Amino acid sequence: MVKNYSGHIIFDENFQWKDLEKYFPDMWEIVESESKLNQEEKQFDDILLELNMEEIRKNKKPFGYRRENTRFKMIFPQDRKELTIYRNIISEEIEELTEKVAHEIRNKKIKYTLKYDQMLSIKLKKK
């Protein structure tokens, strides 16, 4: 198993954020399930999920899953059509988690490319 800092689902140029509407809750659940939340935190995450869904329904980029003190984050870089799964440390789990999230859209006519460790901060760490 390869160790990575981040996994990147890079959508093709014809991708629209609203294309994720049916699949985003399941993608969210995959990342959230790694966080081991208590009931209060889970309720807060449910609200965050709904806020993300509102953005997707408007065909806007979602906010992602960026809670403090979680093992993994799901972020959407500002300047591209991309979903990034990120962990603050190198981890064997990044590839598996990224594959699980990508699997949710694999057969849904949403075209994408998978890459790993594409964040600028990671490229600088490796130098």
- Give pLDDT tens digits for 17-62: 999 999 999 999 999 988 777 778 888 899 999 999 999 999 999 9
Whole-number Å distance between alpha carbons of 80 and 86: 16
Enumerate the H helices of the chain as residue ranges: 24-32, 39-57, 93-106, 120-126
Q: Is the pLDDT reported for residue 83 higher than 70?
A: yes
Whole-number Å distance between alpha carbons of 61 and 125: 28
Mean pLDDT in residue range 92-111 = 91
Place of tokens 């997707």: 56
Decide: pTM greater than 0.75. Answer: yes
Count structural domains, the chain.
1
Full domain range(s) for residue 95: 4-126
Q: Is the pLDDT reported for residue 101 higher than 70?
A: yes
Whole-number Å distance between alpha carbons of 114 and 102: 8
